[in-house]
Amino acid sequence: MLHTFLSGPKGLIGTATALAIGIAAPALAQDQLSIATGGTGGVYYPMGGGLAEVINNHVEGYSATAEVTGASVENMGLIATGDADLAIALADTVQQAYSGTGRFEGQQLEMVRGLGSLYANMIHIVALESSGITSLQDLTGKRVSIGAPGSGTEVNTNAILEANGISYDDIDEQRLNFNETADALANGDIDAGFWSVGAPTSSILNLSTTQDIVIIALTEEELAAAAEADPTFTTTTLPGGSYTGVDEDITVLGIPNVLVVSSEMSDDLAYEITKAMFDNIAEMQAVHPAANETTVEFSLSATPVPLHPGAIRYFEETGAEIPDRLRP
């Protein structure tokens, strides 16, 4: 965080003193907060932008900026190094970072704390109708975007494929972000792509207006295999009509998105941010409908790591009962 002080030729001058001697005191500087999000073609970036505005408007003495990043895996590293103050990340990535497993084997990030959970991602597997791809098994031998390097999409893709007997050796994997995946599908450079994202998302919306797309539905057995391999997966419904030409409801895998900070953040600041977000959630809902899921109840059921004590203080003020697993 950046700290700026009002100063004069002989040292620090308080605002009251400046006014008393007739000096026009400049506006007090604000501490800068960085929110690590994702690419511009997903939901993390607008959600992070909405949260930044809430902080700017309702947390006195602080201003915040949403930063474009490679998403979940990268964001956890930014929290660990102190290069971001807040970050949005998928629940399985957050759990792996906190426990030192999976992508974080040997580098346990014990300082990770939750402020809450924002909404659930839906895992989209998208192809053009003309590709003839209609099932997960049809991806074998195909050019497939598995998500950007350092993204939760890549973590989710790997879990789903491995749980259902498909390895990267069986596909021609491409590591592309959401906008790049949509462009590559439209241009015929890949055959299918994975998105782990809130719905609807702009990159698929734009693709569906110019191309006939299909969203691949997993079988009950494939859904169950993925959920057994990764307990943070759940099943949810992508409503028909979310994208042009996709008219039927589709059962998809879902996974929560968690707002995380470091345990080193002060209790008071964590409290003020948590309170500002939940008390003014309508401002974030106006930015993206995914924030309709941002509730105290969802946070207490979906957050996979201990909450920051400042967040616990706010939740207790609302009368919520904090599960033991969420206490540091």
For the residues 173-196, what does the mean pLDDT come to? 97
Same domain, 268 and 227: no
Answer with the one of 201, 226, 255 that is the final residue of a domain.
255
Same domain, 67 and 16: yes
pLDDT for 246: 96
Same domain, 128 and 107: no
Q: Quick check: is 242 in a domain?
A: yes
Answer with the one of 255, 289, 304 that is the final residue of a domain.
255
Q: Quick check: is 322 in a domain?
A: yes
For the residues 159-185, what does the mean pLDDT come to? 97
The answer to whether the beta carbons of residues 230 and 161 sit under 8 Å apart is: no
Same domain, 136 and 250: yes
Q: Quick check: is 1 in a domain?
A: no
Same domain, 47 and 163: no
Confidence band for 199, pLDDT divided at 50, 70 and 90: confident
The answer to whether the beta carbons of residues 223 and 251 sit under 8 Å apart is: yes
Same domain, 131 and 103: no
* Structural domain count of the chain: 2
Answer with the one of 255, 274, 309 that is the final residue of a domain.
255
Same domain, 132 and 95: no
Same domain, 247 and 288: no
167: CATH: 3.40.190.10
For the residues 242-247, what does the mean pLDDT come to? 96
Q: Quick check: is 229 in a domain?
A: yes
Q: Residue 239 pLDDT more than 60?
A: yes
Same domain, 225 and 268: no
pLDDT for 13: 33
Same domain, 201 and 286: no
Confidence band for 1, pLDDT divided at 50, 70 and 90: very low
Same domain, 196 and 250: yes
Single pTM value for the model? 0.78
For the residues 7-33, what does the mean pLDDT come to? 47
- Average pLDDT over the chain reads 91
Confidence band for 159, pLDDT divided at 50, 70 and 90: very high
Q: Quick check: is 2 in a domain?
A: no
Q: Quick check: is 288 in a domain?
A: yes
Q: What is the 3-state secondary structure (H, E, C) of 99-146?
A: HCCHHHCCCCCCCEEEEEEEEEEEEEEEEEHHHCCCCHHHHCCCEEEC
Same domain, 313 and 240: no
Residue 184 structural domain = 122-255
Q: Mind giving me the DSSP string for 35-80?
A: EE---TTSSHHHHHHHHHHHHHHHSTTEEEEEE--S-HHHHHHHHH
Give residue 148's region: left, alpha or beta (phi > 0; psi -120 to 50). Answer: beta
